Structure 1
Amino acid sequence: MHGPELILLLLGALLVTAAARRVAAPAPLVLVAVGLVVSFIPGLPEFELEPELVLVLVIPPLLYSAALDSSYHNIRANMRPIGLLAVGLVLATTAVVGWIAHVFLPDLPLTAALVLGAVVAPPDAVAAVAIGRRLNLPRRTMTLLTGESLINDATALTAYKVAIAAALGATATWLDSTRTFAIAAGGGVVIGLLIGVGVCKIRAVMHDGVMESALGMLVPFGAYLFAEELQSSGVLAVVVAGLYIGHQAPKSSYYTRLQDTAVWRSVDVLLESFVFALIGLQLKTIVADVEITPALAAGAAVVLVATILVRFAWMYPAAYLPRFFSRRVRERERAPGWRGVTVLSWAGMRGVVSLAAASALPLELPGRDVIVFCAFVVTVGTLLIQGLTLPFVIRKLGFHGDEEQADALAEAQVQHAAAQAAVDRLNEVIEEGDQTPDHVVERLRMLAQHRGNAAWERLGRQDDESPAASYRRLRRTMLDAERQVFVEARDSGRIDDEVLFRVLRELDLEEAAISRE
């Protein structure tokens, strides 16, 4: 893929994403569908998926960004179910799908079939999380989806390496495989934690938001490459570093937090658009590289069905058996409802990791073309079948979160206490002899009271505009008027662009502070 082709692909993917977001459609699914259609346009250059590009330059920043936004407390509180999904389910999928592929595709040796199982084992939660947020899934369900997606790639890629070694004739016992997995996982966690701690300490003494953000952008690539160089899990290193740095973010400056949020959201949109468009565009290349016989098509379809069903077969026992056998689990965790288990079972779409892993297979691997074709069928099939029907399943089951009112009440209580603490601190400073004019002090008191009251007002009637909402609406109107005056002054030559940019930033920060999604 050459430079101009890459730019055209990125531009086209962004335009499709923008159109999908405008009509509230799940952008990843739209991108895959459009890519499938576009791949057969005559004269279109072939867009080959380069595994090194995806595994080093795409997956680490996406995982890191997701980890930054994840709740360490929520993930820690749900480590048992997340572990059952991200480790247990991945290994079970590898074994079951591998055995079924060997049975229905006899030309595929068992060791190579297990490679296929490892390739399609890890779900990609990008599409599921996007749909879940739009349809207000419960927070615990979103935590399980996100936590699973952060860890399962490490499990699958480790199983993938072991399976490839076995398929190529390398002797490896179960003990050797378990030891390799433990060392890779443990090393990834330690390296990620060390990098996270080190980066936070360095950023704490920088006092420069731009440099802090620049350093943060190196973390996913450095953590991944450094861990892989030490035969550890680069994926786990990236995830652990992101979780730690995200957990420590409140200690950073406001400038760093604002900049990091803007930077990583832009990176997410760009990379997600790129990879899902690339998935659809692979159809032409993959079809050209393999002779598709009725037996192969039927076998690939069976592998697709098995990949979907094994998740259901795992989810229900994993959700209820631990509660049956352990009183501690019953006391510590709320019983999962069957609706939530069903939604999680259906949210098993595969993504670019599966295709990248398949494309990176050694050329001498037995049945390589069959594995690549089946991986493509599973990836696209789960994205289109499960992804397109997941909103219907969620709505049909009536499964949605009920945390909004509780969150609003908790926020109002804490915001009231925070406003009172701010006023108390202001009074202490004034009593110590501060010479600030009275009208400024009164304005500060009113601002604190306004912030304290605003959260309570949001708990009131939703059909009437609250005073806080009226304040925000009118203040935004005033800020627009101020911007217009400064822009006109710049255009007429009364002020320089540098003055305009400085004032616009001050106005933008104020609007960001008063705006609520």
Structure 2
Amino acid sequence: MEGLFEVVVFLATATLGAALARKLGLLAPIVLVVAGLVLSFVPGFPHVRLDPDLVLVGILPPLLYVAALETSVPAFRHNLRPILWLAVGLVLFTAVAIGLVLHLLLPMVPFAVCLALGAVLAPPDAVAATAVARRIGLPRRVVTILEGESLLNDATALVLFRVAALAAVGSAVGVAEVSIEVLRSAGGGVLVGVLGALLFGFVHKRITDPLLDNALSLIIPFAVVFVAEEIHASGVMAVVVTGLALGHKLPVLMSAASRLQVGAVWRLVRFLLEGLVFLLVGLQLPDVLQDLDEPLGRVVGVTAAVLGTLFLARFVWLFPVTYLTRLVPSVRRGTARKPVKYPLVIGWAGMRGVVTLAAALALPLTVAGGREYPRELFIWLAFAVIVATLVGQGATLPMVARRLKLPPDDPVQDALSAAGVQQQASRAARERLDELAGTAPAPVVDRLRRGVEERTNLAWERLGGTQRETPSQAYGRLRQEMIDAERAVFRNARDTGRIPEEVLVQAYRDLDLEESLLRREGNR
């Protein structure tokens, strides 16, 4: 009972924190981390010690899965080269850089342990990067690159962490062992992900009940990660591959009702889990400080050195990769030279999150020979990096993006493309309607033709800007008033006993669906 009470308190606090962030126009991850830091010292507030398995197996998979579902596979494939440079190359470069700096500052600590912490600190957080990037309206290509990086970098980091941790505890790790570990983790994760996509895609295709589709969708990330971990493959990679494949095929795997419900359920799940993880990060401060038993000077010096290395490594890697690789003809062909502002904003978007702390808590207790090392200092470094990057870089990223004046995506071009495709779709719909016109009464066919014309006109109206009210906007405004009047009549009939509750619920459901469509069209 006490555990359930704490979960409710955490979720309620995370919800209130997110609401406060929206009210103040701030980024929710930053507000929730700061709220957790403050609440961790409030007497009587529930205390929780983060469990690495809970994060890596219970929280991370669903967040990665929903992010992969919403990722455009064509855009991901088009930007695969920069994504891999960041998700693989940058993670390895950052991990080695931090490992070397730590080993120079703490020569008594084996390099393998320092490298393991480097792997922990290297990957930016999947939740923070995409939440911040979308919130401040970065260009679509930048968001795609950051999303792709955040989907794959955890797999790279965790594989490197596993190899370094094995070496730290005295296991023989040579080229052959590393190769086998990488093949088993990455290759096995991809294989499990592909099999998961095939299996669950087959099941989704044959389910007609939206509730069952929802239940299956919630089970998929956990089922995939459990299978992957059972064979010591990368659960992160497996979840991402499954999510990308199913998300790309979702329009033909689920009915319209299922897609609407699944989208709504995952939005709620993501909102609650994202709020929970950032709040939990802040709440860890008392435990981190309590276990820390190092001289203050050493703590400050090592923390500053690690933060500086982490910050510089991202830029030191980004600029050569962005510009020097264009000297290679196969890379240069078909790519345009990007202004310096693009690598600058991508470099600034290096916020770390809960995965960093969870992996740090999984560091070995002792190293080879049973020797101890300052493990508590390493956990503090992970915590400090999360808070510093989230609060520092996350809070200033909107300002940096504004100062750099990144050109936004052209809404006119988007609307023009949409209108062109809508016209083709309307033509296909009319042709199909002409084929079936003899199977329905003429008034029904005429009504359907008018509906197709209205959708085509609405698409072209969006090109006219927002200086005046379009006919479709006028229609939406008036129809909204009519829906409100209809609701009042049904509600009064239920209150006076003329209709049962079930009739009211059905009528409200129909009116709610129509209103949601009106709001969707009005927000385009």
TM bin (shorter chain): over 0.9
- Secondary structure of 1:458's partner? helix
Change in 2 beyond 3 A, CA 1:197/1:480: farther
- In structure 2, give the amino acid aligned to 1:263: V
Task: Give the match for residue 311 of structure 2.
Answer: 308
- In structure 1, give the amino acid aligned to 2:423: H
In the alignment, the residues of structure 2 paired with residue 368 and residue 53 of structure 1 have an alpha-carbon distance, to the nearest angstrom, of: 20
After superposition, the CA RMSD in angstroms is 1.6
Tell me by how many angstroms 1:57 deviates: 1.0
- Secondary structure of 2:463's partner? coil
156-165 or 118-127: bigger deviation? 118-127
Alignment match of 1:338 (pick from 337, 340, 352):
340
Task: Give the match for residue 257 of structure 1.
Answer: 259
Alignment match of 1:406 (pick from 413, 422, 431):
413
- In structure 1, give the amino acid aligned to 2:233: S
Deviation per residue, 1:231-287 (Å, 9 max, x gap): 111001000101111101111210111011100000000000000011111111100
Asked whether the 8 Å contact 1:223–1:234 carries over to 2, the reply is yes
- Secondary structure of 2:302's partner? helix
In the alignment, the residues of structure 2 paired with residue 118 and residue 340 of structure 1 have an alpha-carbon distance, to the nearest angstrom, of: 25
Deviation per residue, 1:204-226 (Å, 9 max, x gap): 11222211121111110001110
Change in 2 beyond 3 A, CA 1:23/1:474: farther
In the alignment, the residues of structure 1 paired with residue 332 and residue 118 of structure 2 have an alpha-carbon distance, to the nearest angstrom, of: 33
Equivalent residues in 2 for 1:235-384, closer than 5 Å: 235-251=236-252, 252-292=254-294, 293-325=296-328, 327-365=329-367, 366-384=373-391
Task: Give the match for residue 444 of structure 2.
Answer: 440
Asked whether the 8 Å contact 1:138–1:403 carries over to 2, the reply is no
In the alignment, the residues of structure 2 paired with residue 420 and residue 476 of structure 1 have an alpha-carbon distance, to the nearest angstrom, of: 29
Asked whether the 8 Å contact 1:82–1:144 carries over to 2, the reply is yes
Deviation per residue, 1:425-452 (Å, 9 max, x gap): 222212xx2242x333322221111110
In the alignment, the residues of structure 2 paired with residue 489 and residue 178 of structure 1 have an alpha-carbon distance, to the nearest angstrom, of: 72
- Secondary structure of 2:284's partner? helix
Q: Determine if the alignment matches structure 1 residue 493 to structure 2 residue 500.
A: no
In the alignment, the residues of structure 1 paired with residue 227 and residue 25 of structure 2 have an alpha-carbon distance, to the nearest angstrom, of: 39
96-105 or 357-366: bigger deviation? 357-366
Long gaps (5+) in structure 2? 368-372
Task: Give the match for residue 391 of structure 1.
Answer: 398
In the alignment, the residues of structure 1 paired with residue 107 and residue 483 of structure 2 have an alpha-carbon distance, to the nearest angstrom, of: 69
- In structure 1, give the amino acid aligned to 2:51: E
Asked whether the 8 Å contact 1:139–1:403 carries over to 2, the reply is no
Alignment match of 1:468 (pick from 457, 460, 472):
472
Tell me by how many angstroms 1:488 deviates: 2.3
Q: Normalising by structure 1, what TM-score?
A: 0.96
- Secondary structure of 1:478's partner? helix
- Secondary structure of 1:417's partner? helix
Alignment match of 1:417 (pick from 419, 424, 443):
424
486-495 or 109-118: bigger deviation? 486-495
- Secondary structure of 2:269's partner? helix
Task: Give the match for residue 370 of structure 2.
Answer: none
Tell me by how many angstroms 1:45 deviates: 3.7
Deviation per residue, 1:485-512 (Å, 9 max, x gap): 2222222222222222222222222222
Change in 2 beyond 3 A, CA 1:104/1:92: same
In the alignment, the residues of structure 2 paired with residue 352 and residue 78 of structure 1 have an alpha-carbon distance, to the nearest angstrom, of: 26
Task: Give the match for residue 40 of structure 2.
Answer: 39
Tell me by how many angstroms 1:404 deviates: 2.1
Equivalent residues in 2 for 1:499-514, closer than 5 Å: 499-514=503-518
Task: Give the match for residue 11 of structure 2.
Answer: 10
Deviation per residue, 1:36-61 (Å, 9 max, x gap): 11212234342211111111110000
Equivalent residues in 2 for 1:30-179, closer than 5 Å: 30-179=31-180
Aligned-residue sequence identity (percent) comes to 46
In the alignment, the residues of structure 2 paired with residue 435 and residue 196 of structure 1 have an alpha-carbon distance, to the nearest angstrom, of: 40
Asked whether the 8 Å contact 1:29–1:383 carries over to 2, the reply is yes
Tell me by how many angstroms 1:313 deviates: 0.5
84-93 or 332-341: bigger deviation? 332-341
- Secondary structure of 1:406's partner? helix
- Secondary structure of 1:459's partner? helix
In the alignment, the residues of structure 1 paired with residue 498 and residue 58 of structure 2 have an alpha-carbon distance, to the nearest angstrom, of: 46
In the alignment, the residues of structure 2 paired with residue 459 and residue 255 of structure 1 have an alpha-carbon distance, to the nearest angstrom, of: 30
Deviation per residue, 1:367-416 (Å, 9 max, x gap): 32111011111111111111111011000000142232211100011112
In the alignment, the residues of structure 1 paired with residue 320 and residue 504 of structure 2 have an alpha-carbon distance, to the nearest angstrom, of: 62
Asked whether the 8 Å contact 1:97–1:307 carries over to 2, the reply is yes
Structure 1 residue runs of 4 or more that deviate by more than 4 Å after TM superposition: none
Asked whether the 8 Å contact 2:63–2:127 carries over to 1, the reply is no
- Secondary structure of 1:335's partner? coil
421-430 or 376-385: bigger deviation? 421-430
Tell me by how many angstroms 1:202 deviates: 1.2
In the alignment, the residues of structure 2 paired with residue 418 and residue 502 of structure 1 have an alpha-carbon distance, to the nearest angstrom, of: 31
Tell me by how many angstroms 1:466 deviates: 1.2
205-214 or 276-285: bigger deviation? 205-214
In the alignment, the residues of structure 2 paired with residue 181 and residue 45 of structure 1 have an alpha-carbon distance, to the nearest angstrom, of: 40
Task: Give the match for residue 486 of structure 2.
Answer: 482
In the alignment, the residues of structure 1 paired with residue 366 and residue 232 of structure 2 have an alpha-carbon distance, to the nearest angstrom, of: 23
Tell me by how many angstroms 1:322 deviates: 1.7
In the alignment, the residues of structure 1 paired with residue 144 and residue 189 of structure 2 have an alpha-carbon distance, to the nearest angstrom, of: 21
Tell me by how many angstroms 1:107 deviates: 4.2
- In structure 2, give the amino acid aligned to 1:451: R
In the alignment, the residues of structure 2 paired with residue 62 and residue 254 of structure 1 have an alpha-carbon distance, to the nearest angstrom, of: 23
Asked whether the 8 Å contact 1:112–1:367 carries over to 2, the reply is no
Deviation per residue, 1:167-195 (Å, 9 max, x gap): 11111013321331122111111111111
In the alignment, the residues of structure 2 paired with residue 6 and residue 461 of structure 1 have an alpha-carbon distance, to the nearest angstrom, of: 47
- Secondary structure of 1:332's partner? coil
Asked whether the 8 Å contact 1:26–1:127 carries over to 2, the reply is no
- In structure 1, give the amino acid aligned to 2:82: P
Asked whether the 8 Å contact 1:136–1:400 carries over to 2, the reply is no
- Secondary structure of 1:48's partner? coil
In the alignment, the residues of structure 2 paired with residue 8 and residue 181 of structure 1 have an alpha-carbon distance, to the nearest angstrom, of: 41
Tell me by how many angstroms 1:155 deviates: 0.6
Task: Give the match for residue 218 of structure 2.
Answer: 217
Asked whether the 8 Å contact 2:169–2:364 carries over to 1, the reply is no
Q: Normalising by structure 2, what TM-score?
A: 0.95
Deviation per residue, 1:114-172 (Å, 9 max, x gap): 11101101101433323322332111111100000000001101111111111111110
Tell me by how many angstroms 1:21 deviates: 1.9
- In structure 1, give the amino acid aligned to 2:380: F
- Secondary structure of 1:515's partner? helix
Change in 2 beyond 3 A, CA 1:81/1:478: same
Task: Give the match for residue 195 of structure 2.
Answer: 194
